[in-house]
Amino acid sequence: MIDQQYTSSDEAMLRAVILDLLHYPRKVFQSDQDLDQCLHGGFYNDDGQDCELCEQLSKCRWLLGNDDFVDLNRRTTEQLLDALLFARDQISATILMDNHRNNCKCQACSWLIIADVCLRNKQAEH
Ligand SMILES: [Zn+2]
């Protein structure tokens, strides 16, 4: 019989890997922000109309919920996986746009491989 549930140590390991993986997109999204243009210093402002029109909106929102000041240890594993899924889609889109080679060894491509392994766990659960 195959047990689909994580044992608690598997889950702790998965959480540690996700928390580690979130560092890279955090750096990338922060460097994507145009702080010369942003009226809020890169902090998403939910009563600002200008934020709703900004092309960095979704990444800014993600950063607000997942930056270094948020205690991610209090999130459920599902919430952490959702944060990783968003980051994965963004990084993957950038890699596609920049036409990286198949076996590219850059940080983005290496990151994506590990993120996909984590997210495969998520998809297997459902
Ligand atoms: Zn690459």
**Which of the two residues, 87 and 55, has the higher pLDDT score?**
87
Centroid of ligand 1 to alpha carbon of 93 (angstroms): 12
Q: pTM for the whole thing?
A: 0.85
pLDDT value at position 10?
86
**Residues whose CB falls within 8 Å of the CB of residue 32, separated by 6 or more in sequence, listed in order:** 56, 59
Centroid of ligand 1 to alpha carbon of 88 (angstroms): 14
Centroid of ligand 1 to alpha carbon of 97 (angstroms): 11
Place of tokens 């997109």: 25
Centroid of ligand 1 to alpha carbon of 111 (angstroms): 9
Which of 60, 70, 86, 75 minimizes the C-alpha distance to 16?
75
Could you tell me if 25 and 14 are in contact, meaning their C-beta atoms sit under 8 angstroms apart? no
Q: What ranges make up the beta strands (E) of 55-119?
A: none
pLDDT tens string 16-43: 999 999 999 999 999 998 888 888 888 8
pLDDT tens string 108-125: 999 999 999 999 866 665
What does the domain layout of the chain look like in residue ranges? 2-34+71-125
Centroid of ligand 1 to alpha carbon of 91 (angstroms): 10
